[in-house]
Structures are given as C-alpha cells and as structure tokens.
Structure 1
Amino acid sequence: MPSAAQEVLADWSLPLWLTLSLLAIAILYARGWYAIRKTRPEYFHVLRLISFLAGLVILWVAIGSPLDGFADAMLSAHMCEHLLLMSVVPPLLLYGWPVVPLLRGVPSALRPLMIPFIRSSFLRRLGHWLVIPLVAWLAMNLTYLGWHVPAAYDFALEHEDWHAIEHMCFLGTSILFWWCILKPWPSERHSRNWGILIYLISADVVNTMLSAFLAFCGRPVYSYYLNRPNPFQISSADDQVLGAVIMWVLGSLAFLVPAVLIAYRLIETKDHGSSRPLPEARRATVHS
C-alpha cells in the first residue's frame, strides 16, 4: 500500500461523539419501532428497521470511517462520500418511516420537553413548506451546485468545521428531496402523478451537467488537491475524471432507477383503472 494511503489510515481515529450519537439514535428508533409494531405490524415490518439501521451505518461509513480521510486527499473519494450522503442514506432512513418510532422511542420522562416543539404551529408550517416539491428540489440542487463552486469546495476542505457543515447541508437537503418521493408515514400520501418523474429527471440533469463539466473541462478545478499527495499516486486530472464518472453514473442511477419504477407503477395503475368494470348505475347509463 502506498505510504500516503498508510498515513491516512494511521491518522484515522474513532469519532467517538459521532459514533455514540448514531448509536443513541439507533436505540431510540429500535425502541420506538418495537413499541409501535405491536399495534401496526403491517406497517412497521422488519425491513423498515433494517433499512433505518443500514442508513445509520452507511452514514457512519461516509463521515466517520477512513473514507472521510481519503476524501480529504482524493476528489473521487469525496464524490463517493457525497453520493452516500445524498443518494443512499436519505432513502434508507426515510423508508424506515422514522418520525413516529423516534418519538415513541424517547423515554417517557423526557417526552414533556418535546411537547412545545410538537405543538408549535410555526414548526409545523415550516416543516410542510420545506417538503413542498419545488422548495425541496431547489434546496438540494442549489446546495449541491453551491458547495461544488471551487472557492466553496476548497474552503470546506481547508476548514474542518465548515466541512462538517457542508456534510450536514448535503444530508439535510437530500432528506427533504427524498421525503417528497417516499412520503414517510404519517405525512399525507397523495397519489403520485407524472410530475414526480420531472422532479427526478430534472435533478439528474443537474447532476449530469456538473459531472460532465468536471469530466471534460480538461484541467483540475479544485486547487486544494494540487498541493497534496494522492494516496494512490493518481494525478489530480485523472482523479477528477474518476470522481466525475462516479457522480455521473452512480448519481444518475440513484435518480433514474426510482423514476423507472414509479413510471411502471403509474402505467400499471392506469391500465388497471381503465380495465376496471363500470358500476351498475354507470353501465346502465352508458347502455341507455
């Protein structure tokens, strides 16, 4: 293994605060999931528990494992990190329908402290506004583009606190984006229409444009990497192309696979609806 890679691994240490925080969230969710499963077993099946816990594990891998150290030295590793935060962790967490299990998991002695926040009409209105599709789409994609502006990107890598804020921005806005697709209970579950495909495909267009620029611009865009040794002896230009390909291919799959599945469901629903027999009263009217 190259010495630079060994140095990254040697510099890594277990992020205790992050690890304990994610472990506490996992315990709260599992406790609440077990409680609510007693009354709603058909909704809170084991797959939801596995999905939520997997989301927490992958979140730890993205920002708590040695991957975060490699992301400081390689653009391609940084893109893998961003991909996990934006396209893998949010759907896994949201498929677990986390709102009610997390609330139910809080010890009863602490629940009175949460009542003012739960009953706050301002927070409810803010929450509903944030998951309006246009708002969520703009939040995620503007955050994605904004942090990839060279000055912002380099600044985040040079300042560890801002790097953490960058990660929180990616994760938070991506949760809003995927919320509009998965609609975790108990949020209102309106029937899907073809507009959700525009929502997904237009996000893929943004991802494709940025990836294509990084792949074909012919020069290193981020000066941060020019002054640091690559752990695997890859040139800055080649590392940038590799990162762009990761963003382009895997990032597009994260948008297009759900789009295809949703389109199939919409077509299937439409076909079943058109073939459904007319009620007796309507058939009598038609035949008359």
Structure 2
Amino acid sequence: MNRSEAVPFCGLPPLPGDLYWNLDPLLLGTLLVGLGWICWRGTERRLLLTGWGVLALALLSPLCSLAVALFSARVGQHLVVMLVAAPLLALGLRARAASPGELASSAAVFGLVLWLWHMPAPYGWTFRSDGAWWAMHASLLGSAVWLWHGVMRASRVDAALLSGLGTAAQMGALGAFLTFAPRPLFAPHALTTLPWGLTPLEDQQLGGLLMWVPGGIAFAGLALLALSRVLRTAQDRHPA
C-alpha cells in the first residue's frame, strides 16, 4: 500500500499538543517554484510575496495537520486560501480588464469548485489520494484568484457587484447547509474529532458557521472593497 492510500497528505490525525508542520518535498518545491516566478515575472511583487507567504503558511503550518482531524480546521484553511492569499495574488497580477462574460464564468467556476470539494464523496477522496488533495487546493486557489482578478478588474460596475455579492451569498448557503445538516457528512472525521472536545456533528456545524458567517461577511466585504476600486478606476477614466 503506497503512502497516498495509507496516510493523508498532511499526515495522520494529530492529538491535542501533537501538531506538526507539513514539510513535504513536493509541496516545498512547488512553493519555491512559485516564489521564483514571482521574483522573475511579478508586477506588484510586494502583494504577490504577501499572498505567497499566506498561502505557504496555510499549507505548511500545523493548520494542515489539524485539518486532517477537524473539518472546521479544513474550512478555516480554505478560507485563508480563498479570502486572504487569493485576493493578494490577484491584486499583484498584471492588470487586465475583465469582461462581464469572463466575470460570470469565473464566479460560476468558483462556485462549482467550492461546492464540489465540500461534498462528502470528493472531500473524502482527498484523504485517500494525494492527487485529490493537490486538485482540491489547486482548483480552490486558481478559481479564487481568477474570480478576484475579475471582480477587481471588472469593466462594468454592475457585473462586479453582482458576481461578488452573488458569490458571497452562495458561500453563505453552503455554510448554512453544512450547519443545519442533521447528521455528520464527512467519514474521515468520524473518529478524529473527539480528542479535540467535539463530536463529528459539532465539528461540522462549526465549519459550516465559519463559512457561513465570517466567511460570507469577509467575502462580501472584500467584494465591496473591490467594487470601490472599480469605481475609482472608472472615475479616473471618465472624470465628471
């Protein structure tokens, strides 16, 4: 039995006081390649480096091992990636106006990816396959960067507002679904939450609340900040 079938990518579920860093060579190498690209091609290096640092901490820090034990920790890890690292990386990329069609596509893809990886079967797959773990985090990061780039560079204010607040609403809907589910949905956490003082259902409810309330509010706030950026850009182009 190979490693990916025996042990999740971030290691075995830790006990309280037994958290550890994830120093997987492939992950470290991938992050270093990303750092090299930023130093070579980045236009806003300070923003890109900050976003890269946040992403590295989310994937390398003990949060990664805690996410093996607790669904709520995995949700927290994803929120850091989608709501902190991704907007910073999007701001640091080369500016390019996003059409309403592109913005609608990015919002749809992000919503699909978000719901897909927080459904029981795909979520459980990430604990049995290293490839699925990579696919989860790469698609969440990539779709979030694409969405934030579109919202921040939208060519039309109404499209930016609709996509940003609409995505915040569907993230809140997913959080509410997870919060009010009558039973635990995620088999990998059936035996891993009790040492942390939570039943599997309580852990799932906590994860849903994190996505629903702070996650939804943070996403809406970021969308409004991005909208103000779009408005300032429009005023600069067409002063009254």
Change (3 A) 1:157 1:30: same
Residues 220-259 of structure 1: matches in 2 within 5 Å?
220-259=184-223
For the residues of structure 2 that align with 1:32 and 1:268, how far apart are their CA atoms? Answer: 27
Change (3 A) 1:172 1:70: same
Structure 2 residue 84 is matched with structure 1 residue 88 = yes
Q: Would the aligned equivalents of 1:70 and 1:231 in 2 still touch at CA under 8 Å?
A: no
Q: Deviations over 1:218-268 (max 9, x none)?
A: 321212211334452222122112111111123213321133335556778
Q: 1:167 aligns with which of 137, 148, 156?
A: 137
For the residues of structure 2 that align with 1:161 and 1:201, how far apart are their CA atoms? Answer: 32
Q: 1:197 aligns with which of 138, 150, 161?
A: 161
Q: Which amino acid aligns with 1:238?
A: E
For the residues of structure 2 that align with 1:263 and 1:56, how far apart are their CA atoms? Answer: 24
1:199 Cα deviation after fit: 0.6
**Alignment correspondent of 2:16:** 5
Q: Which amino acid aligns with 1:247?
A: M
Q: Would the aligned equivalents of 2:151 and 2:226 in 1 still touch at CA under 8 Å?
A: no
Q: Secondary structure at the match of 1:177?
A: helix
**Alignment correspondent of 1:118:** none
Q: Which amino acid aligns with 1:59?
A: L
**Alignment correspondent of 1:114:** none
Q: Secondary structure at the match of 2:82?
A: helix
TM-score, length-normalised on structure 2? 0.80
Gaps of 5+ in 1: 34-43, 100-127, 184-188, 277-288
**Alignment correspondent of 1:108:** none
**Alignment correspondent of 1:177:** 147
**Alignment correspondent of 1:71:** 67
Residues 1-288 of structure 1: matches in 2 within 5 Å?
4-9=15-20, 12-32=21-41, 48-97=44-93, 132-183=102-153, 190=155, 192-262=156-226, 276=240
**Alignment correspondent of 1:282:** none
TM-score, length-normalised on structure 1? 0.67
Q: Deviations over 1:122-150 (max 9, x none)?
A: xxxxxx99x81122111110111112221
1:31 Cα deviation after fit: 4.3
CA RMSD, aligned part only? 3.2
Q: Secondary structure at the match of 2:116?
A: helix
Q: Which amino acid aligns with 2:70?
A: M
1:53 Cα deviation after fit: 0.8
**Alignment correspondent of 1:123:** none
Change (3 A) 1:98 1:20: farther
Q: Would the aligned equivalents of 1:74 and 1:230 in 2 still touch at CA under 8 Å?
A: no
1:270 Cα deviation after fit: 9.0
For the residues of structure 1 that align with 2:157 and 2:31, how far apart are their CA atoms? Answer: 35
**Alignment correspondent of 2:3:** none
Q: Would the aligned equivalents of 1:51 and 1:93 in 2 still touch at CA under 8 Å?
A: yes
Q: Which amino acid aligns with 1:52?
A: L
Change (3 A) 1:208 1:155: same
Q: Which amino acid aligns with 1:62?
A: A
Q: Would the aligned equivalents of 1:211 and 1:244 in 2 still touch at CA under 8 Å?
A: yes
1:77 Cα deviation after fit: 0.4
Q: Deviations over 1:139-187 (max 9, x none)?
A: 110111112221111122232321121111111111221121233xxxx
Q: Which amino acid aligns with 2:221?
A: V
Q: Secondary structure at the match of 1:5?
A: coil
